[in-house]
Amino acid sequence: MNATLVSNLGWYPASWRGHRARQMPEYADESAVRAVEARLEGSAPVIRIEEASRLRELVADLAGGRGFLLQGGDCAESFDDPVAEQVAGIVGLFDAMADRLRPNVVGPLVETARIAGQFAKPRSAQEETHDGVTLPAYRGDIVNGIEFDANARRPDPQRMIRAHMQSVGTAASLSAARGAGAPIFTSHEALLLPYEEPLTRRDSAGRWWATSGHMLWLGDRTRQLDSAHVEYLRGIENVVGVKCGPTLGADELSSLIDRLDPLGRNGKLVLIGRFGAKRIGELLPPLLRATKGRPVVWTIDPMHGNTSMSGKRKVRRLPDILAEVDGFFAIARAEGVYPAGVHLEMSALDVTECIGGRGPASIDELEKNWLTACDPRLNRAQAIDLAAHVAALLA
């Protein structure tokens, strides 16, 4: 390896390969994977480094107690998504939510969508079984197909090429729709590292940036200190989110921050709590205390911790989601920590996936317009109402 490619932290884009990579597909043909990686290395970036740097500056403001981060979008993007319609919908939804929030936000309202790269999904099980047939789990369109048959569920590295092409088009459409003056930044979970590595590029100062998205986040299932995902994310200059779930202890979080951001750089880390309304009062305070004095930003994901099952259907209820938001604001303020944002799974469509508010009244009504490929999302009206609820908390 060329020594000039190694950062001062002993990091380079492929250094993750020396660590255990969890939640990764098993491809049958490694030579095909290498060919895809080589093609991606010569491909256009999804986003511009200058834009990712601008997001770092805005998040640094959040770390100083000014502004608010509104992050949200689809649980998972699909190759079947009509890009123009998808972008128009998310822009319209962000505009409507921003109208509720902006009057009560002191500082910048930072808008970041789960889009232009949110194609990979972590799974709790490696396989799925239906009617006695067992196949690999669906891991998002960038890995395999959602149809339950052997050919669709076979991990195919060529899907990375299609995901990249769609992401480039989506990011360009998003930029054109909003313009440079009021951008909606892109974000996704950095899960499929053979996709992320070849899209990692250097700036004129020799710093490494992920050009797959403006902000990448570390999932609750891949945040082990020795993991390949932590290794990759520690070396890039982008804003990095960290999902903080119920099993994350204060000491582990401190060690994780030390690993991801040993230099304590403003705007580098956004900590995204996801505990559930019933447990946030118990779990969040020790984590807030462990991070005091560090230049981190705390936001809340009130979706994932408030998921239950009804048969094989995932169920989320708006009252639980709002209760976790309320708990986050109250606990953060009691601990002297700035509550800097929300992270939502939401749709611009009138889906019937979360119960309550201007959505379905009961489990029986979920089937009316259930469209998600994975997790339940707030519909347009529910998301706008949540933004109004948050605005009242900011007042």
pLDDT digits (tens, 9 = 90+) for 221-237: 999 999 999 999 999 99
* Average pLDDT for 130-146: 95
Q: What's the pLDDT score for residue 4?
A: 59
Average model confidence (pLDDT) across the chain: 96
Could you tell me the domains of the chain? Answer: 3-125+154-394 (3.20.20.70)
Whether residue 2 has pLDDT greater than 70: no
Q: Pairing state of beta strands 200-202 and 208-210? A: antiparallel
CA–CA gap between residue 289 and residue 287 (Å, rounded)? 5
Helix (H) or strand (E) holding 180: none
Task: Read off the DSSP letter of residue 184.
Answer: -
**Residue the block writes with tokens 């119920």:** 246
The burial of 2, by beta-carbon neighbours within 10 Å (0-12 exposed, 13-18 middle, 19 or more buried), is given as exposed
The arithmetic mean of pLDDT across residues 207-231, rounded, is 97
pLDDT per position as a tens digit, 320-344? 999 999 999 999 999 999 999 999 9
- Indicate if the pLDDT at residue 3 is higher than 60: no
6-15, 87-96, 378-387: least confident range: 6-15
The answer to whether 221 and 246 have CB atoms below 8 angstroms apart is no
Residue-wise pLDDT for 159-197, tens only, equals 999 999 999 999 999 999 987 779 999 999 999 999 999
Lowest mean pLDDT among 9-13, 212-216, 388-392: 9-13
- Tell me what the mean pLDDT of segment 362-389 comes to: 95
SS3 303: coil
Structure tokens of 105? 């936000």
Contacts of 30 (CB under 8 A, 6+ apart): none
Contact indicator for 368, 300 with CB cutoff of 8 Å: no
Residue 345 confidence (pLDDT): 98
Quote the DSSP letter at residue 247.
T
What is the per-residue pLDDT across 70-120, written as a single tens digit (0 to 9) for each?
999 999 999 999 999 999 999 999 999 999 999 999 999 999 999 999 999
Lookup: tokens for 43: 């491909």
